[in-house]
Amino acid sequence: MAEYRRRKTGSDTWHWCRNCHLDPKSDYDTRDKRPDYDLCNHCKAKEKNNDCRT
């Protein structure tokens, strides 16, 4: 199952593709369930292209 990550500082979107260039590497919150909003557009695009590494 994908892990959703969001940076703690500042307003950011949720990332679940580890190959997303905006995926936070430290100081982030995590959750297992897909959030209803604030999803990363880059992660969405990767998922659509089957290029999302979770």
Compute the half-sphere exposure of residue 17: CA atoms within 13 Å on the CB side of its CA: 19
Q: Taking CB under 5 A as the rule, which mask of x and - marks residues 1-40 in contact with Zn ion?
A: --------------x----x-x-----------------x
Smallest gap from residue 44 Cβ to Zn ion (A)? 8
Judge whether 19 and 46 are in contact, CB under 8 Å. yes
Which burial class, exposed, middle or buried, applies to 24 when counting CB atoms under 10 A from its CB (0-12, 13-18, 19+)? middle
42 binds Zn ion (CB under 5 A): yes
Smallest gap from residue 32 Cβ to Zn ion (A)? 17
Binding site for Zn ion (CB under 5 A): 15, 20, 22, 40, 42-43
